[in-house]
Chain A
Amino acid sequence: MSHNNKGSILIMTLIIFTIISIISMMCIGLIYTNNNISNLDYQNIKLREESLSGIEIVYSNILKEVKNAVEITRNEEEFKSYFLGNNSYDFINNVEDVSKSDLKNILIKFSDEDLSEENEFLKFDVISNARKNLYKKSIKVSVKIKNPWYMQVKDIKEENEQNKEVIDNHILENADLVEIPELIEDDKDKKDIDINEKDLVILYDYKEI
């Protein structure tokens, strides 16, 4: 009897030991993964905030540029040329400048397509890249700049045309009762219009790429 049972307790112990080891290894693996996920989540939030901060600074730079453009320009074409053509290089450089901020891992760049013009809007895309060690996060945002003179110049022209017609009719008919409207001086009126640069810049379509 004793002969048959020789070593069986030891073998059973080793089997149990192996099972316990496997189970504990699996538990440790799960916890290690949990720890990695938690760490990754933290890095993700930090990088996303940095990337969004880059976009906020770009927005601030665009507002400044648009404010300057509104102050300097007087009509639709001047406003457009402030951003397009030869001036576009300066505009892009000014907008991309985040060097004065505390953001050191950020790279701002315009998307491959140039600034495009669509009716009253100038459109372009900006990509903000944040990088830290092995982690990287990129956010792309589309920007629209509204031309403040677009509708107003059109309106003023239309109004002036209508007023001219009234004046002509007045002269032709010689009617005393009709009030003679004054023609609007373009430049004077444009300066009187209160333009808020925040109404002209629209950031939309945020995408993580």
Chain B
Amino acid sequence: MNYKNKGFTSIECIVSLSIICIAVYIVSTSVYASYNLVKSNEKNIEMLNIAKSSLEDKKYFVRNSELKEIKESLDTQEIGSYEVRTKLEKDKEYYQCFKINVKVISNLKKIELNSYVTQ
């Protein structure tokens, strides 16, 4: 009886180890990809918040400006590892209306928000 079963456990172990190896490979690959995705989402949210706050700042400036004529402008600033470009231009088709364009640029991604504001 013992003679007949000789070697079975070894084969069983090899099969089990192979299955575990495959499982670990699949899981580690997917977890790594997910981790990257979470990181990328985190960056996106950060960039979006920066874009939103820059846009609101510009809107506040235009709305509360006491200047008769607001000059068109293109500002570039560094916030953390991001480059923020804010462009303010007058929309000649509409009465005292300005177009604001905010771009937040990182090494890999770019987020853009557009809005209009009336003085």
- Among residues of A, the one whose C-beta sits closest to the C-beta of B112 is A46
Contact: A49 with B95, CB < 8 Å? no
User: Chain B, 36-74, contact with A by CB distance < 8 Å: what is the 0/1 string?
Assistant: 011001001100100010010000000000000000000
- Among residues of B, the one whose C-beta sits closest to the C-beta of A68 is B95
Chain B residues in the interface with A (C-beta under 8 A): 1-2, 5, 8-9, 12-13, 15-16, 19-20, 23-24, 26-27, 30-31, 34, 37-38, 41, 44-45, 48, 52, 55, 91, 93-97, 99, 111, 113-118
Chain A: residues with Cβ within 8 Å of the partner, total of 41
State whether A49 and B115 are in contact (beta carbons under 8 Å apart), knowing that A35-B37, A38-B44 are contacts in the complex: yes
Please report which residues of chain A, range 12-28, place their CB below 8 angstroms from some CB of chain B when the two chains form the complex: 12-14, 16-17, 20-21, 24, 27-28
Contacts of A2 in B (CB 8 A): 1-2, 5, 8-9
State whether A102 and B114 are in contact (beta carbons under 8 Å apart), knowing that A2-B2, A38-B44 are contacts in the complex: yes
Contact: B20 with A49, CB < 8 Å? no
Contact: B41 with A34, CB < 8 Å? yes
Contacts of A49 in B (CB 8 A): 55, 113-115
Partner of A60, one of B5, B55, B95, B115: B95
Contacts of A67 in B (CB 8 A): 95
C-alpha gap A35/B1 in the complex (Å) = 58
Name, among B24, B27, B95, B117, the residue most crowded by chain A CB atoms within 10 Å (CB to CB). B95
Contact: B44 with A101, CB < 8 Å? no
Q: How far is the CB of B20 from chain A (nearest CB, A)?
A: 6
- Among residues of B, the one whose C-beta sits closest to the C-beta of A19 is B23
Ranked nearest first, the 3 interchain pairs of A and B with the lowest CB-CB distance are A13-B16, A100-B93, A53-B116
